[in-house]
Amino acid sequence: MQLRNHRGFSASQLLVAGLALTNSGFAIPVEDSPRQYLLAGLDLPKKYSEKSKSPYTPGFRDPYDRAVDAVGEKLDPLPYRNGLGASVLGPWNRERSRQSPDLVRPPSTDHGNLNNMRWSFADSHVRIEEGGWTRQTTVRELGTSVELAAVNMRLDTGVIRELHWHKEAEWAFVLDGQVRVTAIDYEGGNFIDDLKRGDLWYFPSGVPHSLQGLGENGTEFLLIFDDGNFSEESTFILSDWLAHTPKSVISKNFNLAPEVFAHLPKGEKYIFQGSQPGSIDDEKPTGKNVKKSKQNFVHRMLDQEPHLTSGGEVRITDSKNFPVSKTVAAAHVIIQPGALREMHWHPNADEWNFFLKGRARVTIFASEGTARTFDYVQGDVGIVPRNMGHFVENIGDEPIEMLEVFRADEFRDFSLFQWLGETPKKMVVDHLFKDDPENGEKFWNKIKNAEKDEVTLPDSDNETESEQREL
Q: Annotated active-site positions, please?
A: 404
Count CA atoms within 13 Å of residue 410 on its CB side: 5
Around Cβ 402, how many Cβ atoms within 10 Å? 25
Residue type, 310: S
- CA pseudo-torsion sign 18, 24, 26, 31: positive
Q: Alpha-carbon distance 159 to 218, whole Å?
A: 8
Separation between Cα atoms, residue 147 and residue 370, nearest integer Å: 22
